[in-house]
Chain A
Amino acid sequence: MPIDTKELDMKLEEILKKIFKNEKIDLEGTIEDIPEWDSFTHIQLIDAIEEKFKIEIEFNDAITMTSIPTIKKKIMNYL
């Protein structure tokens, strides 16, 4: 189902805040500069995205989703 970028941003921000337990999320952030983003939270993040957007992320995409802009782009490709 198509989704507009505003709705995507909103839903994603909600997930990120919950997973990273941080109210201040930089939507341009990457795995390098978000301290809470580690191997464990990455799994939780992909899981939460799959559930929220009702998509199944391919493993090749999961290993390249290392920044929030990339995550947004990838989600759009699935919707």
Chain B
Amino acid sequence: MKESISLVKHQQISKKFKIDYNNIRELFYEKVKDRADEIFLISPGENTAEFTYTELKSLIKNTYSIFRRLELKNKDRINLIFHNSPEFLILYFSALCFGLTVVPINPDIAPEEMRYIISDSKSKVIFYSNTLEFKIKNIKNLDSVKLEKITSINDQEFSLKNEDNFEENEISINDTAVIIYTSGTTGNPKGVILSHLNLLSDSKSISEWFHFNTKTRTLCILPLYHNNGQITTLLAPLYQGGSTVIVQGKVSLLSFWDLVNRYDVTWTSVMASILSILLSISKERKDQTLKAILCGGQILTRTIQKQFEDRFEVPIFEGYGLTETTSFSCINCFPAGKRRIGSIGKALPINEMSILDKNSKNVDENNIGEICIRGYNVTVGYLGLKEKNENSFRNGWFHSGDFGRKDSDGFFYFQGREDFLIIKGGENIYPAELENVLYQHPDIIECAVIGIPHKLLGEDICAFVKCKEESQISETELKEFCKNNIGNFKLPQKIIIINSLNDLDDIPKGPTKKILYRELKKYYLENYQK
């Protein structure tokens, strides 16, 4: 570590943690030296693509000329709108090595939602997959942004002459590497600023926790536009000179065990809903390579864990983290015999975790309080949200809004959330996101959105709406209306029009007219859940 690290208060911890590189470029170039002709990336498909470390470096250098043609400069921001693909990865690494900030966008959100992120992040160029052109065309007011459609890395421009003589931009360890948008309580997503320090510390920590080495090969099935995919299955194996197999999660679950077997995968990271889906399919494990599965982002029930481990004979390590902590901040202990089942594990060495009460005082062991985190992997804050930053980052801690407890051996246990965040198949959705869309319908007077239990996804979405008396609108018509205004995965499974109910006249509210979401959930469970 050559450069001194500047840490804000909620990144400071009592123990020092050594970071070996100043930025992702240094990490990558160092690995190119050690692992030159070894495979780093595999992208299975009709024409399976494989890249060695050296080949990827060459592609990165070639991509610099695309950035220069587009007049991008050090620290400029770019949007990447792709599903998991070699194109995303080449642009991602090229941008980080060039000194740009990557702002990935989930391709499944609606054009209007994309527009908000593009505008809020003040990106200079939007790189997008040609398969998403129909969606990009529908994003309004993009006059100040350049659009760059990418068909394939086999395009001529990616294979232009190597730009080895180009002087590299200076990148500080505290420079912003990525900004990842995560659901916001008010409906608009918030941009979480993650620096090279955040990415390096979290990926190093995870790779060491699980003893990753050059033989480690991960299966990256989670979307790379989120932090979990980027850190645990891409940067963590890179840190130890390993390799990764990237696939588009949407179409890969049926092929999960075949992919693990064909490519000798040793590790992967999933959401609990993926484990449930794999349990529901009649496909059995064939490989002898998979050592373990890391699982986070959703509550993992003991039943699912036991069924999965009994049937597939592979240990699951549950962990906990948020976009604000880059990825994981605690993970169950490795190897499997040291796990405490039901726990989200112990704090990683790059961060400290504490359970605090409302006055930011430590609560006693096994008592419930808010999970608070500080350390090298904690974001400096949200992009342009002063009030939210003051509220979430105070007294030297990041306040997660999640509740939990810690036992006498330092194992943490997740208990729930203070707000009404819905986690559907690992995607975070705040009720306000869908409520804001529903309120745009002229027939709707009032609405409230809740999470409802779903066997495989963990949760699905149900909306209660109160319509104008004269309204004749149907559930199908309302669903159709939502379809055009919000990402597919945020669409409600059920819309209950309360005008047609005999036992519910109004959306239940408390004395301050605050919607009683818990009451609605209780009503749903009593009347609709079999």
Contact = CB atoms under 8 A, between A and B. Distances in A.
Interface in B225-239: none
Interface string A33-54: 1011111101100110000000
B48 interface: yes
A39 B247 CA distance: 12
A63 B262 CA distance: 14
Nearest to A32: B131
A38 B493 CA distance: 14
Contacts of A59: 254-255, 258-259, 262
Given A39-B250, A43-B253, A60 B134 contact: no
Contacts of A30: 131
Contacts of B442: none
B491 A35 contact: yes
Interface residues of B, number: 30
Contacts of B457: 40
A16 B489 CA distance: 19
Interface string B469-497: 00000000000000100001101000000
A25 interface: no
A38 B46 contact: no
Contact of B253 (A36, A42, A65): A42
A63 B45 contact: yes
A39 B275 CA distance: 13
B48 A60 contact: yes
Contact of A63 (B135, B247, B489): B247
- Classify chain A's interface size: 20 to 34
A62 B281 CA distance: 14
A46 B281 CA distance: 12
Interface in A47-76: 47, 59-66
B259 A42 contact: no
A32 B107 contact: yes
Nearest to A41: B250
Contact of B45 (A32, A39, A42, A64): A64
B251 A31 contact: yes
Contacts of A39: 249-251, 253, 277, 425
Given A33-B135, A65-B251, 12 more contacts: A32-B134, A33-B134, A39-B249, A39-B425, A40-B456, A43-B253, A43-B281, A46-B254, A47-B254, A59-B254, A62-B255, A63-B252
